[in-house]
Amino acid sequence: MKNIADQHLNLPAYTPVMVLPGASLFPHSLLPLYIFEPRYRAMLAWSLEQQRMFCVALMKPGLTEAQTPNDFHHIVGLGLVRACVARGDGTSHLMLQGLARVRLTGFLQDTPFRLAEMRELRSQPPEPHEAELLSAKLLGVCAQLRENGLQVPEALDKQLAQIEDAAVLGDVIAHTFLREAGHRQDVLEELRVGERLRLLIRHLTAEML
């Protein structure tokens, strides 16, 4: 996956929004999706004709369908459609690459799909010494998860060892290892990277118990 950590992102002013139960999109991560609902087929067609981007928003707990904007979180992940395979029945398989954290600031339409105005949320980096200590501790928690029986692809192990940016490391680990949707949203919303890594460590440790 192409590293976008140091690139300037020319983000659109508005984008479609896909609301899902239990799913989050982190920067620097890849999310496979199966598009089958009519509104999301229309959303995908629009996205592919425009800038190939849309947001993934987490539905709030206890709901099976988002009826209003109050039914889902407004700090979300913006993604780029890296690959899309259309099927003969009108459905599609695609791979979405996380680009940025954004806040949805207003809605331009609800049908046939949601279209929202947005603002990019920039992360606040920690001091180098703090980043190094927290990254080492986070990798130690991942090692514990493997010792507890979690199967981790060898390629991912190598990838984690090569990541030098604490923010990127946190996002990749959160995407890969966090199971609970609420924990994932907590980490997605924290903009201070040092606090984000501490939060991620606490959530991963709690999920091991």
Q: Which of 120, 141, 157 is the last residue of a domain?
A: 120
Do strands 14-20 and 53-58 pair parallel, antiparallel, or not at all (unpaired)? parallel
pLDDT at 149: 74
> Which of 109-118, 141-150, 200-209 has the weakest average pLDDT?
141-150
H-state helical runs in 101-178: 128-147, 154-162, 166-177
**pTM of the prediction?**
0.90
Give SS3 for 85: strand
> What would the mean pLDDT of 74-81 be, rounded to a whole number?
97
Give the chain's domain count.
Answer: 2
Q: Which of 120, 150, 184 is the last residue of a domain?
A: 120
Buried b (16+ CB within 10 A) or exposed e, 65-81: ebeebeebbbbbbbbbb
Domain that holds residue 75: 14-120
Region label for 138, one of left (φ > 0), alpha (ψ between -120 and 50) or beta (otherwise)? alpha
